[in-house]
Amino acid sequence: MADEPLELGEMSISDWYAHSDKLAEVGFLTIARRLPSLVSQALAIAWRADRRDTVLAITLNLLGGVFTAFGLLATTGVLTALFSEGPTPERVVAALPSLAVVAGAAALRAVVQAGAGWAQARLDPQVSRLTEERLYGLTSRVELAAYDDPEFHDALQRARLRGVSVADAVVSATVDVLTAAVGIAAVAGVLGVLHPVLLPLLLLAVLPDAWAMVRGARMRYATLYALIPAARRKWIIGDLAADRSPAAEVRSFTMRGFLLAMYDAVARAEQDVMLRLARRQTYAKLAGEALSGLGAGLVYAALGVLLAVAAIPLAVAGTAVLAIRSAQQSLSNLMYATNRLYEEGLYFTDFLEFCADAERRIPAGRTAAMPEGFQRVTATGVTFTYPGAKEPALREVSVEIKRGEIVAFVGENGSGKTTLSKILAGLYEPDTGTVHWDDTDLRQVSPDDLRLRTAVIAQDHTRWPLTARYNITMGTDKGEPALLSAAAVAGADEVVEGLPHGYRTLLDRRFKDGQELSGGQWQRIAVARGFHRDADLLICDEPTAALDARAEHALFERIRTHADGRTVLLITHRLASVRYADRIYVLEHGRITEEGDHDALMALNGLYADLYSLQATAYR
């Protein structure tokens, strides 16, 4: 085993660079073209988060630029007075009014910038909350089949890992871009007043740095984008090594070394990629700084020539030096903020694109009213294929469930039983075919309205880290009698009696005073959850998988009693439990191959009779 290469599947190194070449071609002009769109998107989110703070942040930053311009123009007056002829005390006195203007402009600029920072700091948490709510609002509404689509998983990973977390950074960078742009505009106006030829000199000192920063950001995004599958694999392996659920099997099968080897294989490959990225970014930064130094030298040489030919006075030259240094700082801030906005904007665009894709996956335009009940549920010609699968899970399946019946789906693993039940529950939509409640096509009604009328006791039920009460009620409030009745029907009341705080006990040992339940106890809680819904259609998918024989028998007796007048769809491999069903559908390779009650199917001597006889023989 030690000499065998690890099978990393989708983690083959070549797959990591699937998008690198395309993203590496992004240049500064592309950034410039996308900048207005990013700014408008960020401002739109900031506006939705808090209009007042958005207006304050922008307005106060604009005022900061105005005060910057006043301060620079007043500096010219100070230098003119100081460089004029006459006794020094008189020149100092003559400079005092301009000095007062400079000091006042600096003080006002500091005040408005502090106010802008306060407004921006208030925006950040509000933007984060807004984007997180949008993401999770969509992920909880998309069609269930989306979670079977690997591309959806990758897009969700990008949106969750970086897209949501950088939303506030995008807004912050947008404000910084606007602030720096206002500062540059103020300085440019001052330089234009002093001498027009000074304006082009500003670009010489900052464009090289801008190129280096943009190139570095492009490299980083391309690399991290390509490493998303690796990050996901590391997260999955890390969970297997550190999570409570697989901890017992990790030890009993001595998987520690194997898991660490897999983790190390992915981590080392990721490390090598990141080290190469750091080297390339360093080279780009060194080149940018060298060119920036050359540009700064040319700027000051040009100023010297202008002074030598008497094109500008000494006071204007002095102000120009201060203005150019201020402009350099503003331009550097602008390029840094622009670079940051573009880089974070790429991840934020992933979030926006995911949201757009998720919204397309939400069924819309369904206005038909959900009927109060039904006389029969019919599925006609239903075919369904999971995303990425080559073969359909269901092929032209038709079933009928009448009100008050107990109907069973049986068949071997992979026959399509659970898939068909999820389609009847509105969790999946068929590729072809229809599902009706009486005359109402379920494609015309809201999925949420349908799900309120159905209850699913799933085999792979979730063990919610909530109190016992919420694990049964799932956030609904039907009152204490409904809770106690559902728990009693499922036998969950016996489980709750053994908990230290009753229904208020947290069912997760990661919390203080939290409790852990056995598999059978969790199964009873899940069954109570389904009974508490008191739905028109109750779907029980292997509801006794974790129960012992006595508890299983008791539960099926409760289901039969509880089903009096209700409609129950039962999926189970325990065929002794379905012999009293009103009708049994046998599925094989996604098709209905047999249909009838127990006696009819036994007389048919087909797959059902074979499976039933095998189980019966084992108990003789």
HEC profile for 94-111? HHHHHHHHHHHHHHHHHH
Asked whether residue 224 is domain-assigned, the answer is yes
- State the pLDDT at residue 463: 87
Say how far residue 172 (Cα) sits from the centre of its chain: 20
What is the CB-side half-sphere exposure of residue 522 using CA atoms within 13 A?
19
Asked whether residue 115 is domain-assigned, the answer is yes
Instruction: Give the tens place of pLDDT for each residue, 410-458.
Output: 988 889 999 999 998 888 889 999 999 988 888 888 888 888 888 888 8
- State the pLDDT at residue 99: 72
- State the pLDDT at residue 395: 93
> Based on the domain organization, do 39 and 99 belong to the same domain?
yes
> Based on the domain organization, do 158 and 222 belong to the same domain?
yes
Asked whether residue 207 is domain-assigned, the answer is yes
Instruction: Give the tens place of pLDDT for each residue, 65-109.
Output: 777 776 766 676 666 665 566 566 766 667 677 678 778 878 888
pLDDT at 292 over 80: no
Instruction: Calculate the CA dihedral of residues 485, 489, 494, 496 and round it to 10 degrees.
Output: -50
* DSSP string for residues in 365-419: ---BPPPS--SEEEEEEEEE--TT-SS-SEEEEEEEEETT-EEEEE-STTSSHHH
pLDDT at 384 over 90: yes
- State the pLDDT at residue 10: 46
> Based on the domain organization, do 140 and 169 belong to the same domain?
yes
Asked whether residue 31 is domain-assigned, the answer is yes
pLDDT at 6 over 60: no
Instruction: Name the β-bridge partners of 394.
Output: 384
- State the pLDDT at residue 491: 85
> Based on the domain organization, do 394 and 454 belong to the same domain?
yes
Say how far residue 587 (Cα) sits from the centre of its chain: 37
* pLDDT higher at 212 or 176: 176
Say how far residue 339 (Cα) sits from the centre of its chain: 23
CATH of the domain at 463: 3.40.50.300
If you average pLDDT over residues 112-119, what whole number do you get? 87
CATH of the domain at 119: 1.20.1560.10
> Kind of pairing, strands 567-571 and 406-410?
parallel
If you average pLDDT over residues 339-351, what whole number do you get? 78
* pLDDT higher at 426 or 227: 426
Say how far residue 421 (Cα) sits from the centre of its chain: 29
**Start-end of H helices in 84-148:** 88-139
pLDDT at 43 over 70: yes
Q: Greatest CA separation found in the chain? A: 124
- State the pLDDT at residue 381: 93
Instruction: Give the tens place of pLDDT for each residue, 519-572.
Output: 888 888 988 988 888 888 888 888 776 666 677 777 777 777 766 667 889 888
- State the pLDDT at residue 593: 93
How far is Cα 152 from Cα 146, in angstroms, rounded to an integer?
6
> Based on the domain organization, do 335 and 215 belong to the same domain?
yes
> Based on the domain organization, do 401 and 473 belong to the same domain?
yes
Lowest mean pLDDT: which of 18-22, 59-63, 329-333, 542-546? 18-22
If you average pLDDT over residues 191-198, what whole number do you get? 71
Please name which of 269, 224, 196, 335 lies closest in space to residue 5, comparing C-alpha atoms: 269
> Kind of pairing, strands 406-410 and 454-457?
unpaired
- State the pLDDT at residue 382: 94
- Which amino acid, residue 251? R
Residue 590 pLDDT grade (very low, low, confident, very high; cuts 50, 70, 90)? very high
> Based on the domain organization, do 208 and 327 belong to the same domain?
yes
The answer, as to whether pTM is greater than 0.85, is no
What is the CB-side half-sphere exposure of residue 575 using CA atoms within 13 A?
24
- State the pLDDT at residue 497: 92
* DSSP string for residues in 412-479: STTSSHHHHHHHHTTSS--SEEEEEETTEEGGGB-HHHHHTTEEEE-TT----SSBHHHHHHTT----
> Based on the domain organization, do 233 and 328 belong to the same domain?
yes
Asked whether residue 5 is domain-assigned, the answer is no
Asked whether residue 1 is domain-assigned, the answer is no
Which two tokens mark 592? 């209905």
Helix axis angle, 28-49 to 167-194, nearest 10° = 120
Number of domains forming the structure of the chain? 2
Residue 21 pLDDT grade (very low, low, confident, very high; cuts 50, 70, 90)? very low
pLDDT at 16 over 50: no
Lowest mean pLDDT: which of 196-205, 452-461, 530-539, 571-580? 196-205
Lowest mean pLDDT: which of 176-185, 230-239, 298-307? 298-307
Question: What's the DSSP call for residue 6?
Answer: P
Asked whether residue 367 is domain-assigned, the answer is no
CA angle 470, 474, 475 (to 5 degrees): 85
- State the pLDDT at residue 20: 42
If you average pLDDT over residues 43-57, what whole number do you get? 88
> Based on the domain organization, do 471 and 517 belong to the same domain?
yes
Residue 159 pLDDT grade (very low, low, confident, very high; cuts 50, 70, 90)? confident
- State the pLDDT at residue 81: 61
Lowest mean pLDDT: which of 152-161, 311-320, 369-378, 479-488? 311-320
How far is Cα 473 from Cα 457, in angstroms, rounded to an integer?
13
- State the pLDDT at residue 420: 93
> Based on the domain organization, do 400 and 264 belong to the same domain?
no
How far is Cα 585 from Cα 417, in angstroms, rounded to an integer?
9
pLDDT at 28 over 60: no
pLDDT at 217 over 70: no
What is the CB-side half-sphere exposure of residue 233 using CA atoms within 13 A?
25
Please name which of 205, 422, 381 lies closest in space to residue 298, comparing C-alpha atoms: 205
3-state secondary structure of 527: helix
Instruction: Give the tens place of pLDDT for each residue, 328-342.
Output: 677 767 777 777 777
pLDDT exceeding 70 applies to what percent of the chain?
83
- State the pLDDT at residue 620: 62
Residue finishing a domain among 333, 360, 387: 360
Residue 600 pLDDT grade (very low, low, confident, very high; cuts 50, 70, 90)? very high
If you average pLDDT over residues 597-605, what whole number do you get? 91
- State the pLDDT at residue 12: 40
Question: What's the DSSP call for residue 228?
Answer: H
Residue finishing a domain among 297, 330, 360: 360
pLDDT at 24 over 70: no
- State the pLDDT at residue 398: 94
> Based on the domain organization, do 349 and 383 belong to the same domain?
no
- State the pLDDT at residue 586: 93
Range of the domain at 265: 10-360
3-state secondary structure of 517: coil
Residue finishing a domain among 310, 335, 360: 360
- State the pLDDT at residue 87: 67
- State the pLDDT at residue 13: 36
Asked whether residue 368 is domain-assigned, the answer is no
Do the beta carbons of residue 612 and residue 410 sit within 8 Å? no
- State the pLDDT at residue 85: 65
φ, ψ of residue 461 to 5 degrees: the values are -65, 155
> Based on the domain organization, do 212 and 354 belong to the same domain?
yes
CA angle 368, 371, 377 (to 5 degrees): 105
